[in-house]
Amino acid sequence: MNHIKGKKIRRWAVAGTALTMLVPLLAACSTDKTDDPKNRHTLRIGTMYGSKQDESYFRQQFTDIFEYTHDGIDIEVVPAIDYNEMQFDNMNGKEQTQQPDPLEKVKAIMTGSNPVDVMIFDFSLLGQLVGENLLKQLDTQMKEDEINASDFAATVIDGIKEEGNGNIYALTPTFMPSALFYNKKLFAKANVTPPHDGMNWDEVFNLAKQMSTGDGKDRVFGFSFSSYGGGENYWDIQNFLAPLKLRMYDENAEKMMVNSPKWTNMWKTVYGLYKDHIIPHQDDFVYDQPTDGKYNPFQGQMFLNGRVAMTIGDYSYISQIQQLNDNADKLKMEKLDWDVVTIPFHTEAANVGANINLSSLAGINTKAANSDDAWEFVKFINSEKWAQLKSRSMYEMPSRKAFIKAREGMTYNVEAFTKLKPFSNSQSQKDLEISRTKPNIRFISELASQAYNAVVSGKLSVEQALKELETRGNDLLQKLKTDPNGPMDDFYNQPPIGGNGDGSSGGGGIVRPMID
């Protein structure tokens, strides 16, 4: 949870310096200049997570400018899950405290005796909120106020409409897209045609094999699932598999489903890249250590050091590339000649990208007591003026197409960030209930991590590892069926699958990406 909180704070903090720049610009937008208490009203805005201690960051990001330009409106921020309450939960390592269900917590502040007017939430909840008629459809109001959906990036609108049965129930001013970054110089040197938009995973992996050459410190790797880490990283595989929505266990959490041809094929595909040294191993990072004793801020980032031909990175990765190129002479490093194309997709989930995050969707509660101000707020933070401000962000991209441009002084295929639909990692109500009532089910993913580590270490074949994962997972599911919150001594006392592994928590019924 601290990871989620930290990431949100990082994004919110960048708005603070921009606040003073926008206030004069929007001062003329003020709709009500009276301080008469009789004319004042409160707009209640719900958030998925928060606390009084970090509320100021949220206000800087979303509400301060709106309050300044709308004198008659007071903003009240209502977190669905309060960090202050969670940090004092009893986690003694023996008995797991039930984790709050984000959907249920959001529904509680939307349907209680004093419901919020606006809800700001992650894309993963959109389908459920629409399905339970908790969000007001926005298409009519957008038409009346001449807000054209075509002015927003297709990535954003297509994803929203798909979860809304063809309609728009929320809008977001920014999003965090990802793309496939590639080293233009390496492709030119190898005389290999570089990647292009619209490639599937098989095509990218075939390119990666062509680009893998050399040995030891001179080895160039064709691909890496992320800018950090080697091929032993199970979570990179989880992100890779996410759009396929492969289930680890059935909807009743009673039977494992990993011992199947599809799971076997996917694990073999990734392990084949590792075995053939197409993707780097953890040991390869030793060659990125500086030999002169000087600190290298890009140490261990093999793409930035010219040793990986292609990697997946989000929009903020451009900032690191820019920092490298601006300081290459000081660091005595070679500047990176690069570009981007769309994220590869699975043919079974065409044009769907797993690494696209819509985390700031704003929708109007169907039970809103102040629906007029709610629409005014949603409209305001999705306006052209707001998008102009957000276009300065180094971390997120504005949703409005007019402000989606390559950064000043840089040239790259910026459209690659906007073409694919975001993958919806929404869970079924049953999966959410299982995660909440059986918190120890997270150890299924730890077993999966152990199983994959046993494969890459050569201790088990893919078939053997998945079979062992099935057996050990079924044992755990049966234990959770009779004692969902009991101590996990038996689990910790067992040797890991294959006798090796350092799994970590996470996961769920359906394989889901490990991102914010």
Compute the distance between CA of residue 326 and CA of residue 406 in angstroms, rounded to an integer.
16
pLDDT at position 136: 98
In the predicted model, is pLDDT for residue 340 greater than 60? yes
Residues 153 and 279 in one domain: no
pLDDT value of residue 20:
43
Residue 327, token pair as written in the block: 């300081």
pLDDT of 33: 46
Confidence of residue 13 (pLDDT cuts 50, 70, 90): very low
Average pLDDT over residues 333-351: 94
For the record, the structure tokens of 324 come out as 């490298």
394 Cβ neighbours under 8 A, 6+ residues apart: 14, 316, 318, 319
Final residue in a domain of this structure, among 320, 352, 384: 352
Distance CA 221, CA 212 (A): 5
pLDDT at 86: 64
Within 10 Å of residue 124's Cβ, how many Cβ atoms?
22
| Orientation angle between helical segments 443-456 and 234-241, nearest 10 degrees | 110
pLDDT: is 183 or 354 the higher one?
Answer: 183
Residue 303 has pLDDT above 90, yes or no: yes
pLDDT of residue 509: 63
Is residue 508 in some structural domain? yes
One domain, residues 55 and 136: yes
Question: Which phi and psi (to 5°) does residue 222 adopt?
Answer: -70, -30
- 43 & 128 share domain: yes
pLDDT at position 515 is 40
**% of the chain with per-residue pLDDT over 90:** 59
CATH of the domain at 137: 3.40.190.10
Residue type, 437: T
Q: What is the structure's pLDDT at 3? A: 42
* Domain presence at residue 513: yes
Q: What pLDDT shows up at residue 293? A: 61
* Three-state SS letters, 426-483: CCCHHHHHHHHHCHHHHHHHHHHHHHHHHHHCCCCCHHHHHHHHHHHHHHHHHHHHHC
Neighbours of 74 (CB within 10 A): 12
Residue 75, both tokens: 């903003």
Tens-place pLDDT, residues 321-331:
999 999 999 88
> Are 307 and 188 found together in one domain?
yes
Tell me what the mean pLDDT of segment 286-309 comes to.
Answer: 77
Residue range 213-235: average pLDDT?
87
How does DSSP classify residue 515?
A: -
> What pLDDT does 97 receive?
56
**Where in the sequence is the domain holding 140, given as residue range(s)?**
2-27+37-84+104-170+357-400
* pLDDT reported for residue 8: 44
Asked if residues 221 and 302 have their Cβ atoms less than 8 Å apart, the reply is yes
Same domain for 396 and 295: no
Cα separation, 196 vs 229, whole angstroms:
25
Is the confidence at residue 234, as pLDDT, over 90? no
Distance between CA 405 and CA 395 in Å, rounded?
14
Residues 391, 345 share a domain: no
pLDDT at 257 over 70: yes
* Whether residues 114 and 158 fall in one domain: yes
pLDDT at 95 over 90: no
Alpha carbons 313 and 290: distance in angstroms, whole number: 24
Using the structure block, give the residue that is written with the tokens 């206000």: 59
Q: What is the mean pLDDT of residues 373-389?
A: 94
Rounded to 5 degrees, what are φ and ψ at 297? Answer: -65, -15
pLDDT > 60? residue 332: yes
Instruction: Kindly report, residue by residue over 240-256, the tens digit of the pLDDT.
Output: 898 998 999 999 999 99
The pLDDT, as a whole number, for residue 75 is 96
Q: Are residues 250 and 230 in the same domain?
A: no
Strand 174-175 with 178-183, pairing: unpaired
Provide the pLDDT confidence category of residue 220 given band limits of 50, 70 and 90: very high
Report the alpha-carbon angle 506-507-513, nearest 5: 100
Provide CB contacts within 8 A for 482, sequence distance 6+.
none
Residue 87: what pLDDT?
Answer: 62
For the segment 337-348, the average pLDDT, to the nearest whole number, is 96
Give me 12's structure tokens: 């919110």
d(CA 371, CA 375): 6
480, pLDDT greater than 70? yes
- 418-8-103 Cα angle (round to 5): 85
Residue 507 has pLDDT above 70, yes or no: no
Cβ neighbours for 251, distance < 8 A, ≥ 6 positions apart: 428, 430, 431, 509
Cβ–Cβ < 8 Å for 417, 154: no
pLDDT score recorded for residue 238: 85
pLDDT for 37 equals 61
pLDDT tens profile 160-218: 999 999 999 999 999 999 999 999 999 999 999 999 999 999 999 999 999 999 998 89
CA-based radius of gyration for the chain = 24
Please tell me the predicted confidence (pLDDT) of residue 1. Answer: 41
How many domains does the structure of the chain reveal? 3
Mean pLDDT of 121-126: 92
3-state secondary structure of 243: helix
Token code pair at residue 219: 């080895």
Q: Are 354 and 513 in contact (CB under 8 A)?
A: yes
Considering the domain architecture, whether residues 301 and 385 belong to the same structural domain is answered as: no
What is the pLDDT at residue 291? 56
Confidence of residue 490 (pLDDT cuts 50, 70, 90): confident
Query: Cβ neighbours of residue 294 under 8 Å, at least 6 residues apart?
Result: none
Is residue 411 in a domain? no
pTM across the whole model:
0.85
pLDDT at 467 over 70: yes
**366 and 343 in a common domain:** no
Of 295, 319, 352, the one marking the end of a domain is 352
pLDDT at 96 exceeding the cut of 70: no
Is 423 a domain residue?
no
Mean pLDDT of the chain: 85
Whether residue 206 is found in the same domain as residue 252: no
Query: Residue 181: beta bridge partners?
Result: 311, 340
Give whole-number Cα distances, 228 to 64, 235, 270, 359, in Å: 36, 12, 17, 23
Q: Tell me if 54 is assigned to some domain.
A: yes
Single out the residue in 352, 382, 409 at which a domain terminates.
Answer: 352
- Nearest 5°: the CA angle 128, 131, 133 is 110
What's the longest Cα–Cα distance across the chain?
76
Q: Is the pLDDT of residue 423 over 90?
A: no
Mean local confidence (pLDDT), 289-299: 68
Same domain, yes or no: 338 and 386: no
Q: Which of 315, 314, 320, 316 is nearest to 300 (CA)?
A: 320
Please report, for residues 9, 100, 326, 425, the alpha-carbon distance to residue 505 in angstroms, rounded to integers and kept in the order given.
23, 16, 38, 17
